[in-house]
Structure 1
């Protein structure tokens, strides 16, 4: 019933949204080497025999930037060569487009999309294959199964490795100013003050960009859950909120305490500009996803070695840990005429062979939900991230523990970061956004 309510709501605005938003028609394949030898037809196995899915075309809508550009394309090209089908990849950068496509019955054969609360809001039982009792499900860890399931039904496989969000710091600046890696929030603030007094931006951020503006709040989810292990359950049932709980309000207060140390052009600077300054020793810290590491390796080369990592500190050493996000999911269309090809692709993708192929095109910074171990040794920065996993000092982000997430979180963070609202006002605004979402998905009456 909940799913039907949602579908009706989306259908009411479907045509309008469809006219306003759009995806690119195809993903460029020119930057990836051709994987099919020129002398062989893509419809044969090289020995003259027709491949099992020759002539089949699968459509894939990619609403994800979890891996560097071209990685998904290159991996799919290897699958095409192996099985004979063609995979048409369509990049998408607008969540409204995904929802509209589903609402008007234009579901692709394969969808790469979020897990957690955003998956819940799609009413996945209406659109995606049930993978609960498949061999694929047996390969996956509990974190991903929880994140990619709704009402006990598993709908997706992991697109890549998991990611985390924490503080990246410039080691050269730390050495120059005699700073040590902080273990508490107070120690972190003192480091920011030292850099700021020296004329270096303590914290770099792009408030105009959807993801980076939210990360000081999202990366602090560990601290919220540590202070109240029942917060997610109580929040889901409407028994607590961010504004009316100590742990909830404190997370917004910590964001507010960062504001004096943000770059002056935080409202207008792009994420690329901030990252360039960071690697140029003009910014001391970034709060970012670990999935940026492979991109930085490609962009900045050996300069990556002067970057270090630590979890966003809590008010105490014990409350300091890493907030993690399971991988985005790959979902199969339950109404597609190509279900056999879809399932074959998905089974291969999470196999040892498929994971080897994918990992050959980038350097993973997280942990794979299949237990897969990359063959190449990780760089020191990645090891600094992964030690939190090894030590068990990680917690899932709140959006994987509750189906409720405020849609306008980025706008609220933007206002707080620009000093236009206080921490309490931000907490109250976010609670209101979450109340609207809970009502919309039929969770609260």
Structure 2
């Protein structure tokens, strides 16, 4: 399962009243309206967003009736989508992964290209990249962009007169000053092991900035973490922070929500995290959401400073959708990529990042960390996370990063072990060159 999807997943019980056999749309029209079916994942927060978007769409498109169906998340949902596409029984419009996992459903064969639609020009270039194959575009964005980097405590930065760092050296200098002030410089929460890998994954912008095309070489078994200095650096930075004594004392037992609380309340100066954690701040530290800022994981070159992005999933139309239903499905797809669609999304759930549509604006009420991320997106200093560019992500990464971050395994050995983990997965996927 993709890293971001795993973290955002909720209960796996399907909320739809429909059986798997009823997910395709009916050919009937209701009351003169064209009826289409929209299929999305069954995460409760996602369903709430879908209901809001559908209601807003139908209010402005009274000739279309949209029926909501849901599918399981994870591998079960993936298999359902692939089966429906293979049998020509997919819903009229559906939500699915962007990036490398999109390629697994053969968009050229199974999806309707929308390259010439007017709204495509409004897509954020980075998102457009992960819903395209060759010169053809297939999807509009479902949800917001989130970024990986560092949450930081703004009042502490003000108190110590610290500046947002653009290089790793500057970041480490800030950590030294924070430790001298008696505060844990960097929060880690290894009780929930997935959090340990954020620092390595968020470092990918720095890898790509120094090595254009690295993701393709990595996928083709022509580049390794252990033998690419910038890719190895993510593991080395974990090791460096541990050796410097910059972790919180309870890093081995602390949990995700405790980490959010620590950086929000000033018990810690920094917390490596992805901005989908912003909505969770309102639960972990409801009185301190505005005290948390965000910056990209610093690299070695300030001139190439930028952020690693986890792109939203896409809204796609299968080639089995035809006639009036195709027209209606395209209207719905376009609505999702409009300011009205973004507003309907934002009204249903807290937003953890900017929208992947240039014409959409964030509500004034969004958290400072989201505004900080938006500045990188607006400036175009972004790179999709590696998992959007390559189908290979070894399942043992979070265990390896716990070991490196705990001082159990040296960074170089951790990178080599991860390369072996990646090799196993690539062979399971049947990729050429492995």
Q: Give the TM-score taking structure 2 as reference length.
A: 0.77
**8 A contact 1:61–1:90 mirrored in 2:** yes
Q: Distance in 1 between matches of 2:330 and 2:37?
A: 14
**Structure 1 position 425, deviation (Å):** 1.9
CA-CA distance at 1:258 after TM superposition: 2.6
Matching residue within 399, 402, 413 for 2:401 = 413
Q: 1:408 to 1:117 in 2, by over 3 A?
A: farther
Measured in 1, the distance between the counterparts of 2:362 and 2:398 equals 37
* Alignment size in residue pairs: 401
Displacement of 1:170 in angstroms is: 0.8
In structure 2, runs of 5+ residues without a counterpart are 1-10, 18-28
Which residue is 1:191 aligned to? 174
Aligned to 2:412: 424
Q: Which residue of 1 aligns with 2:271?
A: 286
Query: Which residue of structure 2 lines up, in the alignment, with residue 96 of structure 1?
Result: 75
Match of 1:148 in 2: 131
Instruction: Name the SS of the counterpart of 2:302 in structure 1.
Output: coil
Q: 1:178 to 1:227 in 2, by over 3 A?
A: same
Partner of 2:54: 76
Which of 85, 97, 103 is equivalent to 1:114? 97
1:256 and 1:417 in contact (8 A); partners too: yes
What does the per-residue CA deviation read over 1:353-412, in whole Å, with 9 as the maximum and x for residues that have no partner? 323322334564544333123274466443332222344433333334444433443333
CA distance in 1 between partners of 2:109 and 2:12 (Å): 23
Question: Quick one: distance in 1 between partners of 2:394 and 2:137?
Answer: 24
**1:276 aligns to what SS in structure 2?**
helix
CA RMSD of aligned residues (A): 3.6
Q: CA separation of 1:197/1:385 partners in 2, compared to 1, >3 Å: closer, same or farther?
A: same
8 Å CA contact 2:126–2:382 kept in 1: the answer is: no
- Displacement after TM superposition at 1:79 (Å): 3.6
Q: Distance in 2 between matches of 1:361 and 1:51?
A: 29
- CA 1:402–1:201 in structure 2 vs 1: closer, same or farther (change >3 Å)? same
Structure-2 separation of matches of 1:143 and 1:137: 12
Which residue among 59, 66, 87 is the counterpart of 2:68? Answer: 87
Is the Cα contact below 8 Å between 1:219 and 1:312 reproduced in 2? Answer: yes
Q: How far apart, in 1, do the equivalents of 2:156 and 2:338 lie?
A: 43
| CA distance 1:353–1:184, change in 2 (3 Å) | closer
Three-state SS of the structure 1 residue aligned to 2:303 is coil
User: Residue 424 of structure 1 aligns to a residue in which SS?
Assistant: helix
2:307 is aligned, of 317, 322, 325, to: 322
Asked whether the 8 Å contact 1:207–1:267 carries over to 2, the reply is: yes
Is the CA contact 1:223–1:251 (under 8 Å) kept in the aligned structure 2? no
Alignment deviations for residues 80-113 of structure 1 (CA, whole Å, 9 cap, x no partner):
5653332134563xx2222333455598635534
Pick one of 17, 33, 44 that aligns with 1:52.
33
The 1:280–1:86 alpha-carbon spacing in structure 2 relative to 1, beyond 3 Å, is: same
Equivalent residues of 2:12, 2:42 under 8 A apart:
no
Match of 1:61 in 2: 41
Which aligned pairs between 1:95-244 and structure 2 lie closer than 5 A?
95-102=74-81, 105=84, 109=91, 111-124=94-107, 128-150=111-133, 152-196=135-179, 198-209=181-192, 211-244=194-227
Q: What TM-score do the two structures reach when normalised by structure 1?
A: 0.76
CA contact (8 A) 1:23 1:97 kept: no
Alignment partners' CA distance in 2, 1:59 and 1:321: 34
